[in-house]
């Protein structure tokens, strides 16, 4: 005869393993699709002058200053 109830340790192990797998899957999805702001920030962080400009003016302004569209005459 087996007990139909689990002790706390076994129940937590079972639930945590399921949530861990779900968390890993969610993280993989997030890695594939980055927000445009995150992509811009990473690009700016890789370019030293842009990063220094960002410390004073913010990443949005720095990205626009260094990588924004440039008009040609």
- For residue 19, the model assigns a pLDDT of 56
Closest by CA to 49, choosing from 33, 26, 67, is 67
pLDDT digits (tens, 9 = 90+) for 32-71: 677 888 888 888 988 999 999 999 999 999 999 998 876 5
- Distance between CA 69 and CA 41 in Å, rounded? 16
pTM as predicted = 0.51
């Amino acid at each position: 005869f087996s007990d139909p109830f689990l002790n706390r340790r076994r129940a937590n192990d079972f639930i945590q393993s399921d949530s861990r797998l779900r968390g890993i899957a969610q993280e993989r999805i997030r890695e594939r699709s980055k927000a445009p702001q995150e992509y811009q920030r990473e690009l700016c962080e890789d370019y030293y002058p842009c990063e220094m400009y960002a410390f004073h003016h913010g990443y949005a302004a720095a990205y626009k200053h260094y990588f924004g569209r440039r008009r040609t005459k």
